[in-house]
Amino acid sequence: MVPLTNQLPPSLTALRFNNRFEQQLPADPITDNHRRQVEYACFSYVKPTPVKAPQLVSYSKEVADTLRLTIDDCESDLFTQVFAGNTLLNGMAPYAQCYGGHQFGHWAGQLGDGRAINLGEVADQAGMHHVLQLKGAGETPYSRTADGLAVLRSSVREFICSEAMHHLDVPTTRALSLVTTGEDVVRDMFYDGRPKPEPGAIVCRVAPSFLRFGSYEIFASRGDHETLKTLADYTIRNLFPHLLDKADSEIGAAHYIEWFNEVCQKTAEMVVHWMRVGFVHGVMNTDNMSILGLTIDYGPYGWLENYDPNWTPNTTDATNKRYRYGHQAQIAQWNLVQLANALYPLINDAEPLRQCINDFASSYATQLETMRAAKLGLKAFQADDATLISELHKVLQLIETDMTIFYRGLADLNTEAQYQTDDQLLAPIADAYYVEAQLTPENKAEICHWLRQYQKRIRQDGTSDADRRTAMNKVNPKYVFRNYLAQLATDKSEQGDFSLVNELLEVFRHPYDEQPDKSHFAVKRPDWARERAGCSMLSCSS
């Protein structure tokens, strides 16, 4: 480790760590960093692996502001050394979490932070806690056969997408920084027996907590109900304190049920937002589901470009499509059932847990209707709108249609003019279509029929086009972090040019604004990216 120095910027060294997780939960008594089954403990102490030549790629100004870090702090050498894992600040006590999980529907046993190391928790001015976590910082007891490292391509994707999702108003973990390590990491990107070296990188992720459904499953699976209760009580006291009458309240079955119900509601809200912006997580295993309803673990995710509810960005999931776009709510519910099973020993009554699961389904359905109505600029969802929306989804699948561009263009449709030709109707959404030859007379007629039904529905609301456009443009983004953009940023970064990473980070700070000088980032996926690795589907390799 690089030793602490007395010549430190005051804001960075003024960070005060209040490491509640380590202070209140059982630790692994073994401190040697070797792969093993860790029992009766929620975490293991482990230090990041020093790297040779870290270089700062980018940082999030907003996250830095939350932590009260200045520009000078973030652009200092110390910042780079700390968030590359080479230097520990006073109060940091790095550790890796123990958890399990269901992967692709099957129990996988102990998983844990195999390439993530938590540096500690910082409290902001409002008293909110933020866990600082390095992803790609080296081996931990949970690394299994892996090296604990991460490559630049996956790190660029996680760094930018974390911040883009926040500005899209999607619940998410955040990202403070991205650094390269100056070292190569060998990865078999396609799992085809052809590994190759790639530039290594580390992302500093930030969240109130990185607890997942699998954090509770692991102890239930082992019959370790004492640690399960300790962790559940810690979670309620520190992350859901509003469920208690007072800090010293005794926690019982009613609290666990209330807590689980809130997890269900937060999860429903998160998935509705995914559906709104066309995000596909790609690997919704229970170890990738946040107990806080945050989007977590940005692996083989993707953005729905061609509107295909059966699309998944994960090559591992290409056959069964378990985690496809249109199935995300059902998978979230399945995952919640697994969490309910894990919490059952604390409650010993299945019925209230079952009711929470049912409430998830009904809440999701209601939120989905509201969201879909908002995307269309309707004042409120009405029963008859179900048919309009159902017909829209058929129209979107008639030909290859870009979801983001379609909804954004629909806001510009003239609904006030009584008579328009088919070409006039299609003009605002013309850019959404990938293959012009697919716009046959039959398909045009069907699309225009729907557009006229939509015009009629808007006129029923009595909403002016100007007001409708304003409302729609607040929920339908102009810019989303398409996979081909991530690939372009990676290609440049691998050549030592980080300009596109920083330009995209700036663009996605305002994803609902027009930004005319950045409109080239709002176009359809180019033909060269249709089948290129990293632009269409991705593996879990990082």
501 has a pLDDT exceeding 70: yes
Q: Are 273 and 170 in contact (CB under 8 A)?
A: yes
Number of domains in the chain: 2
Res. 365: pLDDT tops 70: yes
**pLDDT value of position 530:** 85
Any domain includes 351: no
> For residue 389, what are the domain limits?
385-462
User: Does residue 347 lie in a domain region?
Assistant: no
pLDDT of residue 506: 98
Q: Measure the CA dihedral 389/392/397/402, to 10°.
A: -100
Residue 307 lies in a domain: no
State the pLDDT at residue 108.
Answer: 98
Q: What pLDDT score does 125 carry?
A: 80
Q: What percent of the chain lies above the pLDDT cut of 70?
A: 96
Residue 3: the pLDDT is 44
Beginning with the edge strand found earlier in the chain, give each strand of the sheet holding 174-187 in spatial order.
43-45, 95-97, 116-123, 129-135, 196-207, 174-187, 55-59
Distance between CA atoms of residues 13 and 73, nearest Å: 9
- Is 489 a residue whose pLDDT tops 70? yes
Pinpoint the alpha helices (H) of 278-349. Answer: 328-347
What percent of the chain has a predicted confidence (pLDDT) above 90?
Answer: 90
Query: Does position 542 have pLDDT exceeding 80, yes or no?
Result: no
- Taken in order 47, 48, 51, 57, is the CA torsion positive or negative? negative
pLDDT of residue 191: 64
Has residue 420 been placed in a domain?
A: yes
pLDDT at residue number 6:
43
Q: Give me the mean pLDDT over the 502-529 stretch.
A: 97
Residue 75 lies in a domain: yes
Catalytic site residue 287?
yes
pLDDT at 20: 96
Burial 239-266 (b: 16+ CB within 10 A, else e): bbeebeeeeeeebeeebbbbbbbbbbbb
Provide the residue type at 513 as one letter: D
Instruction: Give the C-alpha separation, 59 to 177, whole Å.
Output: 4
Kindly tell me if the per-residue pLDDT of 7 is higher than 60: no
CA distance 387 to 456: 14
Note the pLDDT tens digit of each residue in 99-118.
999 999 999 999 999 999 99
Please determine, for residue 82, whether its predicted confidence score (pLDDT) is greater than 90.
yes
pLDDT (tens digit per residue) in 323-343: 999 999 999 999 999 999 999
The residue assigned the tokens 């008579």 is 419
Q: Which of 117, 86, 74, 92 is nearest to 15 (CA)?
A: 92
Note the pLDDT of residue 224: 98
Q: Is residue 236 part of a domain?
A: no
d(CA 399, CA 420): 22
Which range of 1-15, 238-252, 326-340 scores highest in mean pLDDT? It is 326-340
At 459-475, the pLDDT tens digits run 999 999 999 999 999 99
Pair 314, 283: CB distance under 8 Å: yes
Cβ-contact 255, 234 below 8 angstroms: no
403-410 and 465-472 helices, crossing angle to 10°:
150
Which of 214, 244, 278 corresponds to the end of one domain? 214
Angstrom distance (rounded) from CA 460 to CA 89: 61
Q: Establish if 455 belongs to a structural domain.
A: yes
Q: How far apart are CA 286 and CA 339, in angstroms?
A: 8
What pLDDT score does 66 carry? Answer: 94
Alpha carbon distance 368, 16 (integer Å) = 41
Cβ–Cβ under 8 Å, residues 316 and 329: no
Please pick, among 28, 73, 113, 287, the residue that the annotation labels catalytic: 287
How many CB atoms sit inside 10 A of residue 77's CB?
A: 12
Of 412, 433, 462, the one marking the end of a domain is: 462
Q: Tens digit of pLDDT for each residue in 119-152?
A: 999 998 888 999 999 999 999 999 999 999 999 9
Q: What is the pLDDT of residues 267-323, one digit of tens each?
A: 999 999 999 999 999 999 999 999 999 999 999 999 999 999 999 999 999 999 999
For tokens 């929920």, name the residue.
Answer: 475
Question: Average pLDDT over the chain, rounded to whole?
Answer: 95
Which SS3 state, helix, strand or coil, does residue 42 take?
A: coil
pLDDT at 1 over 70: no
185-229: pLDDT as tens digits: 998 776 667 789 999 999 999 999 999 999 999 999 999 999 999
Of the pLDDT bands very low, low, confident and very high (cuts 50, 70, 90), residue 2 is: very low
Tell whether 248 is covered by a domain: no
Helix (H/G/I), strand (E/B), else coil: 86: coil
Residue 401 confidence (pLDDT) above 90: yes
The DSSP secondary-structure symbol of 511 reads T
Sequence letter at residue 455: Q
Angle CA 166–242–20, to nearest 5: 75
Q: Return the higher-pLDDT residue of 1 and 170.
A: 170
Terminal-to-terminal C-alpha distance of the chain: 25
Predicted local distance difference test score (pLDDT) of residue 11:
81
Q: What is the pTM of this model?
A: 0.96
> Which of 214, 241, 263 lies at the terminal end of a domain, its last residue?
214
Instruction: Tell me if 366 sits within 8 A of 313, measured CB to CB.
Output: no
- pLDDT band at 9; cut points 50, 70, 90: low
